[in-house]
Structure 1
Amino acid sequence: MTATDSLSDSRPDSLSVWLRVRREVDWRSAPALERVPPGRDGFRSWCCGPVRRRNPIRAERLLAAHALAREDAARLVPLDFALLARWQREVLGTTEVPAFRTGDAYAKGGRERYGLSPHTWSDFDACLREAADPGVPLAARGARVYLDVAFFHPFSDGNARAALLTLVHVLARDGIVLPEVGPLQITRYADDPAGAADLAALIGVLNRRTMTSSSVKQ
């Protein structure tokens, strides 16, 4: 273990912090979402616009993963790590399905450390299953699962993309397609319950933009 490793290991476990915060957030106060006629698909627009301008290969990989995620949503395939890993193979352009990480993970320049225990994988799958809980508003389920993927940090690379795909999938299961995804992609912190609730509220705001756009077209 290097001095840097020792310093990193002494940092708080942000995953444990998130699991505590996750229980404290008032998810049931999230806004209700409304189904509207199909319109602009914000994820596809994001891939075909800013992502493609920066990196055409990354854009094509994301579009392929998005197609899988939408197909699985239409078939109501249960959400678990194996499903995310299948999408992540497309995201990363690998021949093999990515495995769950085998050690602690770090993000935000090392400021957040996500620990690993013998229960991390099963805890992650349990959180993913909660994304189908009809007793929690859909906006909250989408926000919560986005943050679950971000803070469990299951993959060696591409976790932010995996989080966004998972959110899109969960909303699509209920027929919701957001017209924008860029506003969702701001830095989130594991110890911020207000930020978690704000993400659910933002999903509601974007859904209302879909409704407004649809009414204008009519």
Structure 2
Amino acid sequence: MVPARDGVVEDIRAFDGAIDSARAEGLLAALQLARIDAARGASLTFELLQGWQRHVLRALQPPLFRSSPAFAKGGRERFGIGPDTRIRLNACLAESMYDSARPLSLSARAARAYLDVCFFHPFGDGNARAAFLALIFVLAREGITLDNVSLLRRVRFQADDPQDPLILSRYINFHLSGTRRASSNGCRGQKINHTL
């Protein structure tokens, strides 16, 4: 499903561009890589995120997995670290791939990937952007580009709130439905240019 407008690119240009043009450029470069990886059917791993995150943070080298506890939301959330944290993250990210033995909906798998990145907090900075890219990657791997992502970028989730995965999945479904409606209302056949 490819809509007439690319809501991800538009949102990055508007939202991140308003914060800092370099931030938007870095995220757009990472998005382009994520979509290339999705098109080749890559598995979602920390190493894949790491390659994107280099562009998100505009770093010379891919950022390393954090080596100490991390904090978010003004210190209200703490993310521990152990010798197997990176292995556990990769195991969780692997579940973003469709599995006929455990068929989860696309929105559930995309929400799970987003929340896994948020709550493992693998990087020293830019984890929300990494989580967003993971979500977009899961959708793109199934050929889906959203025409709007506003609910996916303007929400906050608590690590200990059991309702947050359901809420995020509903938001993804809302945007999927909106994109499908727009595509069926005369946008069919138009292709967007993924060149960022």
Q: TM-score, normalised by structure 1?
A: 0.81
* Aligned partners of 2:2 and 2:143 also within 8 Å: no
The one-letter amino acid paired with 2:162 is P
Q: Which residue of 2 aligns with 1:42?
A: 7
Counterpart in 1 of 2:162?
Answer: 193
Matched, 1:142 2:110: yes
Secondary structure at the counterpart of residue 163 of structure 2: helix
CA distance in 2 between partners of 1:92 and 1:205 (Å) = 30
* Deviation at residue 184 of structure 1 after TM alignment: 1.2
Separation in 2 of the partners of 1:212 and 1:187? 27
**Whole-angstrom distance in 2 between the partners of 1:69 and 1:206:** 19
Q: How many residues were matched structurally?
A: 183
Q: Deviations over 1:80-131 (max 9, x none)?
A: 1111000000000111110000010100100000100111110000001011
Q: Which residue of 2 aligns with 1:154?
A: 122
Shift of 1:202: 1.1
Specify the code of the residue in structure 1 equivalent to 2:55.
E
Gaps of 5+ in 1: 1-35
User: What's the counterpart of residue 191 of structure 2?
Assistant: none
1:81 aligned partner: 46
Structure whose residues are more often helix by fraction: 1
Q: Determine the C-alpha separation between the residues in 1 that align with 2:176 and 2:4.
A: 11
Matches within 5 A, 1:164-179: 164-179=132-147
Q: Specify the code of the residue in structure 2 equivalent to 1:98.
A: P
Q: After the TM superposition, which of the residue ranges 84-93 and 182-191 deviates more from structure 2?
A: 182-191
Shift of 1:190: 1.1
Q: Supply the RMSD in Å over aligned alpha carbons.
A: 1.1
The answer to whether the 8 A contact 1:39-1:210 is kept is no
Q: In the aligned structure 2, how far is the partner of 1:214 from the partner of 1:121?
A: 39
Aligned to 1:56: 21
Q: What is the CA–CA distance in structure 2 between the aligned matches of 1:120 and 1:50, rounded to whole Å? A: 31
SS at match of 1:106: strand
Q: Which residue of 1 aligns with 2:178?
A: 209
Taking structure 1 as reference, are residues 40 and 87 closer, same or farther at Cα in structure 2, changes over 3 Å only? Answer: same
Q: How far did 1:77 drift?
A: 1.3
Whole-Å separation in 2 of the counterparts to 1:72 and 1:183 = 24
- SS of the aligned residue for 1:58 comes to helix
**Stretch deviating more after TM superposition (153-162 or 204-213):** 204-213
Counterpart residue type for residue 217 of structure 1:
G
* Residues 188, 195 of structure 1: 8 Å contact kept: yes
1:74–1:193 Cα change, 3 Å: same
SS of aligned partner of 1:132: coil
Identical counterparts, % of pairs: 47
Cα 1:37–1:80 shift into 2, 3 Å:
closer
Q: Which consecutive unaligned segments of at least 5 residues does structure 2 have?
A: 188-196
Q: Which moved more, 1:40-49 or 1:202-211?
A: 40-49
Shift of 1:139: 0.4
Counterpart secondary structure, 2:179: helix
Residue identity matched to 1:78: S
Deviation of 1:38 after TM superposition, in Å, equals 3.1
**Which has the higher mean CA deviation after the structures are superposed, 142-151 or 48-57?**
48-57
In 1, Cα distance between equivalents of 2:57 and 2:115: 20
